[in-house]
């Protein structure tokens, strides 16, 4: 019997993309056929919640020593571990369910540990092992983020043994850097005990030092992916060009995953980044595991209904009904390259005006992951017309949201045919986003109604959002820095119609500008590419949008007949984006 253990910070709540991946993976039929049991393992972030809510919605607590709660004599198993490490344990089950298919569910086990008061002697011993066996100097890192994921590894093997013994085949999935210490603990224990029934997998949802470089260097993806290509030609590693990455504990952890059994990279791009960081990795260990998505099947009538809802919504704000709707549903972070949306929209506005078309752009994004209070939203809507207008400061725009609203204001002040709307809220319905939204509207309507989802990210290991409109006949406009662009190429390579358009912002060889000629003609090409300035990058971005704007416009559906044709053409292709399709090769590989 096979047991899958997912080590993650999202064992109870979906915080970001990893939680969505775990939900999609664990509810897939072929996953359930391969694994008899699933355990989600991670730190207990809060010990104050009521015992019955500690495992979140859909969770059932079976044991919590802090609450003296034990539903089935688990204390007998856990007591020696509690005493040995001085930790607290919460154990139980959660039911994971597919968003659109009630038949796809999986009851998984959940194990959380509170390691705040863990015995220092145990911590010191494990840190010594990490240094002795793997060369990790834990005393260099004072960040609690490093410490907590190190500490959950200390008791990990004992907990697994207490729950299951050693008569199963175990697959330990480290989702990102958070589970790497647990993986190293497994390798160490298995080697010492001569065990052969444990496999370790690093699931690379990104390559942390690559993200750091792309975000912190002003040339962003224009710089980094050119450097990567040049480095491949010259057999150079990431650390030889960017030595500062070695100061990060995340880099040090990811470098140690070369001794794991498998590396799952969520795209071709992530695989290249991983090999750039770890050129010594055995190539056969690295497997590309594209993400899947959950979606519902719709007909043309449903698409018309959703578009009518959105047309009425935009009309209530801007007093016109759009011909074409652009959307961008995303986290509000630098890596999403949101400023690029407005560079494209400025050029589209001229084309739309020349062709007598009206367009709307909805950016649904917020820094507040839990969403703003519904009462605040309705009050701001009544007081000053949120989200058409914003005010800086809580409960409205905070932090990076203020910069985004500045971009919106400047664009709307100059545009003739396209208007932009920034909804800094989580959700898309009347309760969460105000009374202008037609009753019965939800986020799925926004995905269905969209003509094109924008995703010109500077760093996007995969990019689920860029795919979500595809099954509903919406186009995807994205950068080559999005890992999903390679999946599009794979799925649609033999198709006669395009449902996506990719701009490779690092493809600058054919741009005839002084800036590019200077960069490419440098005697020290790698250093020249590495130090592309923000000003030069913006010139390159503008030139590329100018080069492709007509091509993008011609691609967009401008009539309902075209939208209906696209939706019908996609009906046979949508299944390729499902989790079943994306996981099929993985289980053959394992």
pLDDT for res 8: 95
Give residue 524's pLDDT band: very low, low, confident or very high (50, 70, 90). Answer: confident
The side-by-side arrangement of strands in the sheet containing 69-70 is 69-70, 59-64, 88-97, 105-114, 37-43, 2-7, 169-175, 198-204, 262-265, 286-288
What residue ranges do the domains of the chain occupy? 2-205, 300-506+553-577
For 187-239, how does the pLDDT look when each residue is reduced to its tens digit (9 = 90+)? 999 998 888 999 999 999 999 999 999 999 999 999 999 999 999 988 999 99
48 falls in which pLDDT band (50, 70, 90)? low
Q: Does residue 305 register a pLDDT over 90?
A: yes
Is residue 471 within 8 A of residue 444, CB to CB? The reply is no
pLDDT band at 83 (very low <50, low <70, confident <90, very high): very high
Q: φ, ψ for residue 503 (rounded to 5)?
A: -110, 125
CA distances to 113, 452, 498 from 576, rounded to whole Å, are: 38, 20, 16
pLDDT tens, 128-167? 999 999 999 999 999 999 999 999 999 999 999 999 999 9
Q: What is the DSSP letter of 392?
A: B
Q: What is the pLDDT of residue 496?
A: 67
Which stretches of 125-190 are assigned E, i.e. beta strand? 169-175
Burial 199-214 (b: 16+ CB within 10 A, else e): bbbbbbbbbbbbbbbb
Instruction: Give the model's pLDDT for residue 101.
Output: 74
Question: What's the pLDDT tens digit per position in 386-441?
Answer: 999 999 999 999 999 999 999 999 999 999 999 999 999 999 999 999 999 999 99
The domain made up of 300-506+553-577 has a fold known as: Rossmann fold (3.40.50)
pLDDT band at 369 (very low <50, low <70, confident <90, very high): confident
Smallest Cα–Cα separation from 549: which of 456, 410, 446? 456
Task: Using the predicted structure, report yes or no on whether residue 512 has a pLDDT greater than 80.
Answer: no
Q: What is the pLDDT of residue 326?
A: 98
> If you average pLDDT over residues 261-287, what whole number do you get?
96
Question: Of the candidates 81, 31, 29, 37, which has an alpha carbon nearest to the alpha carbon of residue 170?
Answer: 37
Residue 580's pLDDT is what? 87
Question: Does domain 2-205 fall into CATH 3.40.50.11540?
Answer: no
Q: What is the pLDDT of residues 85-118, one digit of tens each?
A: 999 999 999 999 887 777 789 999 999 999 999 9
Lowest-pLDDT choice from 13-17, 93-97, 315-319, 381-385: 13-17
pLDDT, tens digit, for every residue of 120-133? Answer: 999 999 999 999 99
pLDDT averaged over the chain? 93
The whole-number average pLDDT for the span 472-481 is 96
Residue 326 token pair? 């652009």
| pLDDT at 517 (0 to 100) | 78
The answer to whether domain 2-205 and domain 300-506+553-577 are alike in fold is: yes
Residues 6 or more apart from 450 whose CB is under 8 A from it? 325, 326, 327, 469, 472, 474
534-582 pLDDT, tens digit per residue, is 999 999 999 999 999 999 999 999 999 999 999 998 877 888 888 888 8
């Amino acid at each position: 019997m096979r047991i899958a253990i997912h080590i993650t910070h999202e064992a109870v709540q979906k915080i970001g993309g990893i939680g969505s991946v775990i939900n999609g993976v664990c509810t897939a039929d072929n996953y359930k056929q391969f694994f008899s049991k699933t355990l989600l393992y991670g730190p207990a972030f809060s010990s104050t919640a009521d015992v019955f809510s500690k495992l979140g919605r859909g969770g059932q607590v079976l044991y919590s020593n802090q609450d003296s709660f034990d539903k089935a004599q688990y204390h007998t198993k856990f007591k020696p571990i509690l005493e040995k490490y001085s930790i607290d344990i919460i154990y139980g089950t959660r039911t994971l369910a597919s968003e659109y298919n009630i038949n796809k569910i999986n009851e998984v086990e959940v194990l959380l540990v509170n390691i705040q008061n863990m015995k220092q002697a145990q911590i010191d011993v494990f840190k010594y092992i990490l240094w002795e066996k793997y060369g990790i100097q834990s005393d260099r890192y004072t960040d609690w983020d490093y410490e907590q994921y190190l500490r959950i590894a200390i008791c990990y093997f004992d907990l697994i043994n207490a729950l299951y013994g050693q008569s199963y085949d175990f697959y330990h999935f480290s989702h990102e850097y958070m589970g790497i210490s647990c993986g190293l603990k497994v390798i160490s224990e298995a080697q010492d005990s001569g065990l052969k029934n444990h496999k370790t997998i690093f699931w690379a949802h990104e390559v942390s030092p690559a993200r750091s470089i792309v975000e912190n260097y002003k040339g962003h993806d224009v710089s980094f992916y050119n450097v990567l290509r040049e480095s491949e030609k010259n057999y150079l590693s990431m650390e030889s060009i960017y030595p500062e990455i070695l100061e990060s504990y995340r880099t040090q952890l990811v470098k140690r995953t070369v001794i794991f059994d498998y590396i799952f990279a969520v795209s071709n791009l992530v695989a290249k980044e991983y090999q750039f960081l770890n050129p010594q990795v055995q190539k056969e260990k690295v497997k590309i595991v594209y993400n899947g998505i959950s979606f519902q099947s719709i007909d043309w009538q449903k698409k018309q209904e959703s578009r009518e809802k959105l047309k009425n919504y935009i009309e209530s704000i801007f007093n016109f009904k759009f011909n074409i709707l652009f959307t961008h549903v995303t986290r509000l972070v630098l890596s999403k390259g949101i400023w690029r949306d407005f560079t494209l929209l400025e050029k589209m506005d001229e084309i739309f005006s020349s062709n007598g078309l009206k367009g709307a752009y909805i950016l649904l994004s917020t820094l507040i992951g839990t969403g703003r209070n519904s009462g605040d939203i309705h009050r701001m809507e009544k007081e000053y017309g949120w989200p058409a207008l914003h005010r800086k400061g809580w409960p409205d725009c905070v932090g990076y949201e203020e910069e985004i609203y500045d971009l919106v204001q400047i664009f709307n002040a100059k545009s003739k045919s396209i208007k932009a709307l920034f909804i800094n809220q989580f959700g898309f319905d009347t309760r969460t986003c105000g009374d202008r939204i037609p009753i019965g509207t939800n986020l799925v309507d926004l995905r269905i109604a969209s003509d094109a989802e924008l995703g010109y990210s500077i760093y996007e290991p995969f990019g689920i959002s860029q795919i979500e409109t595809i099954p509903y006949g919406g186009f995807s406009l994205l950068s080559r820095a999005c890992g999903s662009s390679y999946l599009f190429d794979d799925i649609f390579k033999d198709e006669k119609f395009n449902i996506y358009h990719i701009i490779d912002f690092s493809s600058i060889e054919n741009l005839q500008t002084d800036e590019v000629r200077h960069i490419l003609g440098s005697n020290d090409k790698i250093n020249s590419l590495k130090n592309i300035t923000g000003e030069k990058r913006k010139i390159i971005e503008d030139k590329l949008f100018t080069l492709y704007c007509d091509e993008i416009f011609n691609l967009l559906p401008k009539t309902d007949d075209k939208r209906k044709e696209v939706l019908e053409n996609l009906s046979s292709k949508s299944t390729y984006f499902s989790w079943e399709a994306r996981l099929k090769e993985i289980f053959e590989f394992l």
